[in-house]
Structure 1
Amino acid sequence: MSTSDSSPPEGSTPDRRPLIAFAWLWVGAPLAYGLYELVQKATQLFTG
C-alpha cells in the first residue's frame, strides 16, 4: 500500500524562515530606498 501525502513527516523539513526573511530583505530594502527617493524628488518637484 502506497500513501502519497503531500507533506513530509514531522521534523524532517528544514526551517526556511531565515531564507524567507533574507528574500524579503533582498526585495524590501531596494524598494524602501526607491520609495524614499521618490518622495524626496516629488517633494522637491512640488515645493520648489
Structure 2
Amino acid sequence: MSTPASTQNQQPTHTPVGLIAFAWALVGVPLAYGLYNTVKAASALFGG
C-alpha cells in the first residue's frame, strides 16, 4: 500500500504548550461560567 504523494514529505509540527493552554482557557472559562449559572438556576427552580 503506498501513501499519497501529498503526505510523503510532510514534517510533524509541534504546537507550543502555551498556545494549547490558552485555547483551552478561551473555551473552558466561558463554559465553566455557563455551567455554573445553569446549575445555580436549576437548583433554584427545583427548590434547592
TM-score using structure 1 length: 0.70
Matches of 2:43 and 2:29 in 1, distance apart?
Answer: 21
Structure 2 counterpart of 1:7: 11
Root-mean-square deviation (Å) = 2.0
Runs of 5+ unmatched residues, structure 1 = none
Q: Displacement, 1:17? A: 1.1
Equivalent position SS for 2:46: helix
Q: Give the length in aligned residue pairs.
A: 41
> Does structure 1 residue 26 correspond to structure 2 residue 21?
no
Identity %: 54
Runs of 5+ unmatched residues, structure 2 = 1-7
Moved over 3 A (4+): none
Matches of 2:35 and 2:24 in 1, distance apart?
Answer: 16
